[in-house]
Chains A and B, each alone.
Chain A
Amino acid sequence: MFLQVVVSGIVVGCVYGMAALGFTIVYNATKIINFANGEFMMLGGVLLAGLVAAAKVPIPVGILAAIAGCALVGWVLQRGVLDGARNSDPLTLVMLTIGSALALRGAAALAFGRDVSFVPEFGVLPLVLLGNVYIPSQGLWIIMVLVVVSAALWYVFSRTMLGKAMRAASQEPRAAALCGIEPRRTAALAMIMAGSIGGLAGAMLAPMSAAFYENGIFLGLKGFAAAVAGGLGNPLGAVVGGLLIGLVESLTSGFVASGFKDAVSFMLLILVLILRPQGLVGKAVVRRV
């Protein structure tokens, strides 16, 4: 029983980890908390459900379309909304992301309806039975996707010039511009990456928890909490924070009561912020001036 609860916590945690990665990437590129990030995941789910259930598109194509659609939404959000106000203070920009989240939620309700829709499991991967612990096939998919996404992001940000340029632009936007790096391009790129990851995560989650136009609210909150708990701006921290929140939620639902799971996970977040304000994985910045 205990191990089974841990497994489902890890699976949910992987989804939160991907949500947190979206916050992290955008924060790193622009120092803005993008509260529309949860909507990327919601859109990934409803897009996949719409395409697969209503338009009878094969699942792999549906997933790719969901990723592409969310990447496009991310790009439009950056270029069409946030860029127009790029000289405003960060609080204004954060408010714009909240407004955009509401607009996306409304648009999804109009386009895909207010009903819960379902996506069949992806299959292919087997249901694994270890002793008396089940790892569902969809759970395996989610764990694998998180591993692949994390590895890809690690590669981009620590090995490619583009990734380093994005980090440089977030640390010293002006100095980065003086090096020939266009901050508007790195910001748009970050939003496209966050959109793609969100769309993918939402599509992966859809067979487990149904697609619904209001899913973005809780996914966004959990992802934000995970990103902060792990240390805002730290990709590894985002994943660790996601797993931690998933585990705590799952353990609370399994052994206390499922009604308490949100309260417990947010209390944990507060505790982390009091004891380790830099986050679980974050280190206090060493810098000589």
Chain B
Amino acid sequence: MTALMEVDGLRAGYGSVEVLHGVSLSVREGEILALVGANGAGKSTLLNTISGFIRPSDGDILCRGHSILGRAPAVIARAGIRHVPEGRRIFAELAVEENLMLGGYGLDRERVLERMKWVYELFPRLIERRSQAAGTMSGGEQQMLAIGRALIADPKLLMLDEPSMGLAPIVVAEIFKLIVKLRDAHGLGILLVEQNAHAALRIADQACVLSLGCVVKQGTGAALLSDQTFIEAFLGGRSSV
């Protein structure tokens, strides 16, 4: 099976500072790839490069076998790769429903309204708040809105950057349950970037450990969780799960 999205030998950075030193990974349909690593390892840089905000200096990014290198972020988004950025970045002054509609900007309106019903089924709390300014919602609700906004466009690959950031544990659990549901019931490919590595590895099919811009370890989520040296080196020795 060809990968949904494949990154091959990617080098990228900011100006003359290279952050990613040849990263390769791939995500398949119906699979969660967890990308874990310390602060500054290059996780967000990798997502921003895939989304088209950063031009890589070397390497290739393939979407179902076709290179999307050099495309503008808006074009990549329309190609079915949706990035839910760190810090959620919802349109705070617009209503919840307007945020969702904009997720399907440029797409067929009927289809968008259909998808919106589905997103409301996934996140019933958004229905109650549909006409409220998005910025007045709680952090958890904003994260749900940010994911919902990405799902409206019927993406093939969802890239989630720190979806648990700043949220209460019970909300994090809810969001992780949803991520699993999106994989199992809807066959989405998901690239999950998380600081909370334990939680991410538990739901991941595959996992990559990024350190200082290089993939230093790769394997199934379960294998990494049972790897004592990895746990000690990268997760600060917290081997209890």
Give the B-binding residues of A (Cβ under 8 A): 161, 164-165, 167-168, 171-172, 174-182, 285-289
A177 to B98, CA, bound (A): 16
Say whether A161 contacts B93, CB under 8 Å.
no
Say whether A178 contacts B85, CB under 8 Å.
yes
Q: Find chain B residues with CB under 8 A from A175 CB.
A: 85, 89-91
With A161-B102, A178-B85, A286-B136 already in contact, the answer to whether A172 and B153 are too (CB < 8 A) is no
Q: Find chain B residues with CB under 8 A from A288 CB.
A: 135-139, 142
A165 to B166, CA, bound (A): 28
Say whether A174 contacts B105, CB under 8 Å.
no
Say whether B91 contacts A182, CB under 8 Å.
no
A49 to B21, CA, bound (A): 62
With A165-B105, A168-B94 already in contact, the answer to whether A178 and B73 are too (CB < 8 A) is yes
Say whether A178 contacts B83, CB under 8 Å.
yes
- Residues 62 to 97 of chain B near chain A (Cβ within 8 Å): 72-74, 77-78, 82-83, 85, 89-94
Give the A-binding residues of B (Cβ under 8 A): 51, 53, 72-74, 77-78, 82-83, 85, 89-94, 98-99, 101-103, 105-107, 133, 135-139, 142, 149-150, 153, 166
Q: Find chain B residues with CB under 8 A from A182 CB.
A: 72, 74
User: Residue on B with the closest CB to A164?
Assistant: B98
Q: Find chain B residues with CB under 8 A from A287 CB.
A: 92, 135-136
With A161-B101, A165-B105 already in contact, the answer to whether A177 and B92 are too (CB < 8 A) is no
Selected contact of A180 from candidates B78, B85, B98, B135, CB within 8 Å = B78
User: Residue on A with the closest CB to B149?
Assistant: A179
Q: Find chain A residues with CB under 8 A from B83 CB.
A: 178
Q: Find chain B residues with CB under 8 A from A171 CB.
A: 91-94
Min distance, Cβ A28 to any Cβ of chain B, angstroms? 10
Say whether B138 contacts A181, CB under 8 Å.
no
A176 to B98, CA, bound (A): 12
Q: Find chain A residues with CB under 8 A from B106 CB.
A: 180-181
Say whether A286 contacts B105, CB under 8 Å.
no
Min distance, Cβ B178 to any Cβ of chain A, angstroms? 19
User: Residue on A with the closest CB to B112?
Assistant: A161
A93 to B18, CA, bound (A): 28
Say whether A167 contacts B91, CB under 8 Å.
yes
26 contacts between A and B (CB under 8 A): A164-B98, A164-B102, A167-B93, A168-B91, A168-B102, A171-B92, A171-B94, A174-B89, A175-B89, A175-B90, A177-B72, A177-B77, A178-B51, A178-B150, A179-B77, A179-B149, A180-B77, A180-B105, A180-B106, A181-B105, A285-B92, A285-B93, A288-B135, A288-B136, A288-B137, A288-B142
A182 to B72, CA, bound (A): 9
A167 to B105, CA, bound (A): 13
Min distance, Cβ B128 to any Cβ of chain A, angstroms? 16
Q: Find chain B residues with CB under 8 A from A165 CB.
A: 102, 105
Q: Find chain A residues with CB under 8 A from B73 CB.
A: 174, 177-178
User: Residue on A with the closest CB to B78?
Assistant: A180
Q: Find chain B residues with CB under 8 A from A181 CB.
A: 74, 102, 105-106
Min distance, Cβ A285 to any Cβ of chain B, angstroms? 7
With A180-B74, A180-B78, A182-B72 already in contact, the answer to whether A172 and B91 are too (CB < 8 A) is yes
Say whether A178 contacts B94, CB under 8 Å.
no
A177 to B91, CA, bound (A): 12
- With contacts A164-B98, A288-B137 known, what are 10 further pairs, Cβ within 8 A? A164-B102, A165-B102, A174-B73, A177-B77, A179-B153, A180-B78, A180-B153, A288-B135, A288-B142, A289-B139
